[in-house]
Amino acid sequence: MASIRQLHQQLISKERSAVEIAQEALNRIQQLEPKVHSFLCTTSEQALEQARQVDAKIAAGEEIGLLAGIPIGIKDNLCTKGIATTCASHILENFVPPYESTVTQKLKDAEAVMVGKTNLDEFAMGSSTESSAYQVTCNPWDLSRVPGGSSGGSAAAVAARECPVALGSDTGGSIRQPASFCGVIGMKPTYGLVSRYGLVAFASSLDQIGPIATNVEDAAILLGAIAGHDPSDATSLKVDIPDYTKLLQPELKPKSIKIGVIKETFGEGIDPVVVEKVRQAIEQLQNLGAEVQEISCPRFRYGLPTYYIIAPSEASANLARYDGVRYGKRVADADNILSMYTKTRAAGFGAEVKRRIMLGTYALSAGYYDAYYLKAQKVRTLIKQDFENAFEKVDVLVSPTAPTTAFKAGEKTQDPLSMYLGDLMTIPVNLAGLPGINVPCGYDDQGLPIGMQLIGNVLREDQLFQVAYAYEQSTPWHLSKPPL
171 binds ligand GLN (CB under 6 A): yes
In the bound complex, which residue of the shown chain has the CB atom lying closest to ligand GLN? 174
How far CA 265 is from CA of 370, 402, 411, 452, 465, in Å, comes to 30, 10, 23, 11, 22
Residue 141 near residue 444, CB atoms below 8 Å: no
Residues 153, 75: Cα–Cα separation, whole Å: 7
Q: Which of 164, 172, 192, 260 binds ligand GLN (CB under 6 A)?
A: 172
**Using H for helix, E for strand and C for coil, what is the string for 95-163?**
CCCCCCCHHHHHHHHCCCEEEEEECCCHHHCCCCCCCCCCCCCCECCECCECCCCCCHHHHHHHHCCCC
SS3 355: helix
Question: Among 128, 150, 151, 399, which one carries the catalytic annotation?
Answer: 150
**Residue 449 near ligand GLN by CB under 6 A:** no
Decide whether 102 or 174 has the Cβ nearer to ligand GLN. Answer: 174
State yes or no: is 3 an active-site residue: no
Q: Which stretch binds ligand GLN (CB under 6 A): 34-42, 56-64, 120-128, 210-218?
A: 120-128
Bridge partners, residue 166, by sequence: 73, 212
* 424 forms part of the interface with ligand GLN (CB under 6 A): no
Which of positions 137-156 make contact with ligand GLN (CB under 6 A)?
A: 150
Q: Out of 89, 102, 127, 139, which residue is the one contacting ligand GLN (CB under 6 A)?
A: 127
Q: How far is the CB of 220 from ligand GLN (least distance, A)?
A: 21
CB of 318 to ligand GLN, least distance (A): 12
Type of residue numbered 99:
Y
In angstroms, what is the minimal distance from the CB of 5 to ligand GLN?
29
Considering only 423, 461, 462, 472, the residue that binds ligand GLN (CB under 6 A) is 423
Least Cβ distance, residue 312 to ligand GLN (angstroms): 8
Smallest distance, ligand GLN to C-beta of residue 124, A: 4
Residues 6+ away with beta carbon under 8 Å from 105: 198
Nearer to ligand GLN among residue 78 and residue 125 (C-beta):
125
How many residues in the shown chain lie near ligand GLN by CB under 6 A?
13
Q: CB nearer to ligand GLN: give 71 or 192.
A: 192
CB of 430 to ligand GLN, least distance (A): 7
205 is catalytic: no
Q: Which one is catalytic: 127, 132, 154, 174?
A: 174
Tell me which stretch binds ligand GLN (CB under 6 A): 31-39, 119-127, 153-161, 461-469: 119-127
Q: Which stretch binds ligand GLN (CB under 6 A): 45-53, 170-178, 360-368, 374-382?
A: 170-178
Nearest to 154 by CA among 122, 133, 179, 135: 179
Catalytic residue among 75, 188, 277, 412: 75
CA neighbor of 435 nearest in space, from 404, 400, 403, 463: 463
Amino acid letter, 477: W
Sheet holding 71-75, edge to edge: 39-42, 113-118, 71-75, 165-170, 208-213, 185-188, 436-443, 449-456, 396-400, 258-262, 291-295
Give how far the C-alpha of residue 136 lies from the chain's centroid of Cα atoms, to the nearest Å: 17
**Catalytic site residue 75?**
yes
Most distant pair of Cα atoms in the chain: their distance: 72
> Which of 36, 125, 262, 310 is the binder for ligand GLN (CB under 6 A)?
125
Q: Which stretch binds ligand GLN (CB under 6 A): 4-12, 39-47, 165-173, 453-461?
A: 165-173
CA 425 to chain centre: 15
Could you tell me the smallest distance in angstroms from the CB atom of residue 416 to ligand GLN? 9
Measured CA to CA, the distance from residue 411 to residue 419 in angstroms comes to 9
How many whole angstroms separate alpha carbon 320 and alpha carbon 289? 51
Question: Going residue by residue from 281 to 320, which x/- string records binding to ligand GLN, judged by CB under 6 A?
Answer: ------------------------------x---------
Neighbouring CB atoms inside 10 A of 255's CB total 9
Catalytic machinery residues: 75, 150, 174
Residues that bind ligand GLN (CB under 6 A): 124-127, 150, 170-174, 202, 311, 423
